[in-house]
A and B are shown apart, each in its own frame.
Chain A
Amino acid sequence: MAFDYDKWIRPGKLPHIWCPGCGHGIVMKGLIRALETLKLEKNNTAVVSGIGCASRLPGYIDCCTLHTAHGRAAAFATGVKMAKPEMNVILVGGDGDGTAIGGNHFIHACRRNIDMTYIIMNNYIYGMTGGQFSPATPTGHKASTTPYGNPDPCFDIAKLAIGAGATFVARGTAFHANQIDKLIVEAIQHKGFSVVEILDDCPTTYGRRNKYKSVIEMMNRLKEVAVPVKAAEKMTAEQLQGKILTGVLYKDETKPEYTAEYAKVIERAKASK
């Protein structure tokens, strides 16, 4: 039977604003399937975003949603989680919103290990504002502000999250659509800060500047570069050249979770009176 996405979509909001072939729609479907798999309640689920193409997503999802200032999704979401620790808080955003303008909030949310799930849709560019290069734009690739090639080295968002202290880090791609919901389910179930990076395609502002003739070519590239973590164990360093690992990259269940630790602080403060 066809999956019923309508249950989680605000009536009358479709068709969405994303360009033809944009992978954000595929990620949104994955998120909806994950929410349905976990049987989350709409009143007990908050989807928080900043600004950008990917951050338009909460506008379409029918649950508690917050569309906040640019890059500040993690800050607002931390507020939601601290006020209502029982709530499932999910952040969505793009690579520019999450790692450049909101880079500071992102690493500190990772450091605190607060129980939230951050879905970063990495399309390698600032799509909405006209294709400026982001920290995730690969070196040498073109953007509207780097017409002769980007000289900057790029961020590996998953490694950044692991380094900053996130306790669950996974990576998927928009091509491997049936993996997205499984990764998000695992991320939401994990107690602690979980980051799911989804490699995405932006045919309008990234693809056409970087000699991708079509959406299909961009999707095929994602298919070619992605290597599951288990398959990568059997491959040599040469074979892994230029490949990107997908699947659950890091999981640590020993680190204390922030809201639980804060509750202890409240207890201590009450006891000392």
Chain B
Amino acid sequence: MEKTLPKIEIIEKYCKGCHICVEFCPKQVLEMQGFVVGVKNLEACIKCMQCELRCPDFAIRVITE
């Protein structure tokens, strides 16, 4: 069965660059791109939602089917 990839939506206006999502992602999907977070490796995402859960700034949404 083909793996369906989620859509990681980052609201750059809200992101304050605290690194929490980058550090606590178990699969290193995210990285800092300047002052805000960006997606580095979407293929590795296991949809655990840890980034969405821990982002204090409401800046990340993991959209799955």
Interface of A toward B, CB cutoff 8 Å: 1-3, 5, 9, 14-16, 18-26, 29, 175, 177-178, 214-216, 219
Contacts and interface: CB of A to CB of B under 8 A. Distances in A.
Interface in B15-58: 16-20, 23-24, 52-58
Residue with the highest number of chain B CB atoms closer than 10 Å, among A2, A5, A24, A216: A2
A221 to B, nearest CB: 13
A177 B23 contact: no
Contacts of A2: 9, 52, 61-64
A21 B53 contact: no
Contacts of B24: 219
Contacts, number: 63
A29 B21 CA distance: 15
Residue with the highest number of chain B CB atoms closer than 10 Å, among A9, A177, A215: A177
B19 to A, nearest CB: 6
B13 A15 contact: yes
Residue with the highest number of chain A CB atoms closer than 10 Å, among B19, B54, B65: B54
Interface of B: 9, 13-14, 16-20, 23-24, 52-58, 61-65
A216 B16 contact: no
B20 A18 contact: no
B20 A21 contact: yes
Given A2-B63, A16-B57, A216 B23 contact: yes
A25 B58 CA distance: 8
A24 B14 contact: no
B58 A29 contact: yes
A106 B50 CA distance: 34
Given A20-B17, A23-B56, 19 more contacts: A2-B9, A2-B61, A14-B14, A14-B57, A14-B58, A15-B58, A16-B57, A16-B58, A18-B57, A20-B57, A21-B19, A21-B56, A26-B55, A29-B53, A29-B56, A177-B53, A216-B19, A216-B23, A219-B23
A25 B13 contact: no
